[in-house]
Structure 1
Amino acid sequence: MSRRITRENAMKLLYQIQLRDDDIEEQIRMFLEENEDLENLDREFFLDVIHGVIDHKEEIDNLIQVHSIGWRLERMPKVDLAIMRLAVYELKYRKDIPVNVSINEAVELAKKYGTDQSKNFINGVLGKIAAGLKADEEQ
């Protein structure tokens, strides 16, 4: 079971959820049915990330907004936002994943799916968020 493949598919579904106002559980079910080539998917991790991002969306979006100076969420490319939401969920709620792994995986997704500027933007925002979360933990 590959976490990289799982993250990539989670990002795709999070992107889709942004675009479609359908029932989320139905979208998850359909995504898993329509993508039968997901034998390497870590289903437990996939569902945790999807539900975690959805359940904590307001808090995650607030962290992204605060640390992406000069950008409103509505103006960000939807792919970049899906990547950052996934990564911020990992940074804040998945203590089993090293910070550098979450950020590096997000940057790799940005290289593959984002614009030329996406990787630098995402790396910068996530770096600031990670530093802020670490400072909060140390207090």
Structure 2
Amino acid sequence: MSRRKARETAFKVVFQVDQVQADAKKAFDYLVLHDKLAEKNQGFSWDLIQGTLEKQAEIDQMIASYSREWALDRMSSVDRNIMRVAAYEILYLEDSQAVVAIDEAIEIAKKYGDEGSGSFVNAILDKILGEKNG
């Protein structure tokens, strides 16, 4: 559960950066206190945030290639940002357990997204994982 909270915090920060151009570090520091993210998980969460923002263009291109019916800017910002964070973890973190990252992204999507978010996030992330494992 603790890594889920770290992933959820990462999603919230990336979402804020996407929606209101928030300062990632300030948003993270606030959420660490507000959501009581354990110190042992703060590094993991911050790595997800930094990496996602650094690789966002590449990640967005991949998400867009698998979501042909939804342009990136037309899809739910919740779904888009959950997928960004999970895709970063799947593609770029060496110690990532991709299946866990996808499962937790689905749960976060169910919590913050709409009725179809979990399925949509699952479908896109499965395709990204499939391409990685190619």
Q: Same fold (TM over 0.5)?
A: yes
Q: Output the aligned Cα RMSD.
A: 1.8
TM norm structure 2: 0.91
Amino acid aligned to 2:131: G
Partner in structure 1 of residue 48 of structure 2: 49
State the alpha-carbon separation in 1 of the partners of residues 89 and 36 from structure 2. Answer: 25
How far apart in 2 are the matches of 1:86 and 1:61? 11
Structure 2 residues not aligned, in runs of 5+: none
* Structure 1 residue ranges, 4+ long, deviating more than 4 angstroms after superposition: none
Alpha-carbon deviation of 1:39? Answer: 3.0
Larger Rg: 1
- Deviations for 1:11-37, whole angstroms, at most 9, x for unmatched residues? 11111111112433333334435x262
The residue matched to 1:42 in structure 2 has which SS? helix
Q: Which residue pairs with 1:29 in the alignment?
A: 29
Contact 1:6/1:41, CA 8 A, preserved across alignment: no
CA contact (8 A) 2:32 2:42 kept: no
Judge conservation of contact 1:73–1:81 (CA < 8 Å) in 2: yes
TM-score, normalised relative to structure 1:
0.88
8 A Cα contact 1:13 1:28, kept in partner: yes
Per-residue CA deviations over 1:67-88 (Å, capped at 9, x if unaligned) read 1121111111111011100110
Tell me whether 1:110 sits opposite 2:109 in the alignment: yes
Equivalenced residue count is 134
* Matched residue type, 1:126: L
Percentage of matched positions with identical amino acids:
37
Equivalent position SS for 1:72: coil
Q: In structure 1, how many angstroms separate the alpha carbons of the residues matched to 2:17 and 2:42?
A: 18
Residues 20-99 of structure 1 correspond to what in structure 2 (within 5 A)? 20-33=20-33, 35=34, 37-39=36-38, 42-99=41-98
- Equivalent runs, 1:116-131 vs 2, <5 Å: 116-131=115-130
Q: Is the 8 A contact 1:52 1:89 kept in 2?
A: yes
Residue 110 of structure 1 and its aligned partner are, at CA, apart by 1.0
Query: Structure 1 pair 111/132, CA: closer, same or farther in 2 (3 Å)?
Result: same
The residue type paired with residue 119 of structure 2 is N
2:10 is the counterpart of 1:10:
yes
